[in-house]
Structure 1
Amino acid sequence: MAKRVVVIASGETERRALPHLLRHLGEQGALVDEPIRTPSRNRAITAENACRLVLSAWYEKPPIDQPDKFVILLDADAKDPQDVVARFEEDLMATAVGHRVPVPILTVAAKWHLEAWFFACAASLREYLGRDLGNIDTSQPDEIVNPKRHLIHLLKAGRGEIYTARVAEEIAERLSVYSAQELRRSPSFARFESAVRNGPKPA
């Protein structure tokens, strides 16, 4: 029986892009609930608003349809992802959610933003942009400093477009038709995918 997974992320870009990046997991028994849950008014995720989103998703369905798991995706930016996750989980467990929701709530941090995941699929990204990626080293996508800034520049130079959530969705949809193996070149994507697909918390 498929597991129903609710993903909570930080904004419109994630809300539109993540369903495409995770679609392959449906064949592996993990059904990601749509839409992706995000804080209102493009606020950053905090323990408090994550608690509200979890409780809302938990109680909006009858017991037979309640989620089997929640996965919260944070942006670590330049900080250590493990530190970001540890602090967030400590704050989250201090809210009411730990006492009221009896299913796993996993937290994963993307190094910088999910734009680093796009660079993991360098060939597909070049095809979408219609140009090369310049001197960006895509062999370690999570180590690209401020990948969103690079993507904004490349998009403007290659397609004359402004980077928006709609564009992020188009890129994610393009990448999703290829093997998820390329995306797993980003360790943070691999951890996120594992959290969504598997029961235990990824290392």
Structure 2
Amino acid sequence: MSAPYPVIASIVEGHGEERALLGLLQRIVPHLLPGAYADIQRPHRVPRDRMLKRDPLAQALTVVTARSPRPTGVLVLLDTDDDCALELVQRLRGHAQATHAHVPLVAVAAVREFEAWFLAGATGLAGHFGLPDDLAPPSDPEAIRGAKEWISRRMPPGATYQETAHQPSFAQRFDLDAARSGAPSFDKFCRDVLFLLTGERHPRQ
């Protein structure tokens, strides 16, 4: 069964991203392409060590592409931690090409971690979740090791950032345009989502 609109499936590595990415994609589709609609399917989680291996990734792709309506594209998302984003993306694409070459697929590696995007779009979080009203992004969000700790240090005494509790809510409030300007990997994410929506590649902002 095929749908008359884009259907986006996704594969993520963490429990927090299962909910956060779903909400983020639902938010960002009309932000990137006003008036657009896409069926955003619930992310499928595969632990990082398995996602980076060909056979487990192939199994995950088989699962998500068997859904109805059938996805028109798949987004794979993981954190780089201390690895090279380009190498991770190339590895994922290579594995996917070897087993599911017929599937339109984009791979995004959030530099350092998913939360670096929140740092880049921190102005949208200001005054919420106990964060200060004057919260501002650091100069180079993707260079920071420990984005979660950066957020925790700016929360009220005794409160800490918890991935599964905060990630979905933060994903609904961080400043998308500021994040796109301040975090190149988020800009890539936006361009890849546009590709899944339109089938056209878009230049880096």
TM-score, structure 1 length as denominator?
0.78
**Native 8 Å contact 1:19 1:32 kept in 2:** no
Q: Contact conserved, 2:6 with 2:38, CA < 8 A, in 1?
A: yes
21, 40, 43: which one aligns with 1:18: 21
Contact 2:78/2:108 (8 A) holds in 1 = yes
The structure with the greater share of residues assigned to helix is 1
* Higher RCO (CA-CA < 8 Å; seq separation 6+): 1
Corresponding position of 2:66: 59
C-alpha contact (below 8 Å) 2:23/2:172 kept by paired residues: yes
- Structure-to-structure mapping, 1:127-138, within 5 angstroms: 127-132=127-132, 138=138
RMSD across aligned positions (CA): 2.8
Give CA-to-partner distance per residue, 1:128-177, whole Å, 9 cap, x none: 2434599996233222222123224434x4562451312111212233xx
Identical aligned residues as a percent: 23
Query: Paired residue for 1:195?
Result: 192
Q: How many residues are paired up?
A: 190
Equivalent in the alignment of 2:106: 106
Q: 1:13 to 1:167 in 2, by over 3 A?
A: same
Is residue 72 of structure 1 aligned with residue 79 of structure 2?
A: no
**Does structure 2 conserve the Cα–Cα contact (< 8 Å) formed by 1:110 and 1:189?**
yes
TM-score (norm 2): 0.78
Q: Where does the alignment leave 5 or more consecutive residues of structure 2 unmatched?
A: none
* Change in CA separation of 1:59 and 1:131 when aligned onto 2, cut-off 3 Å: closer
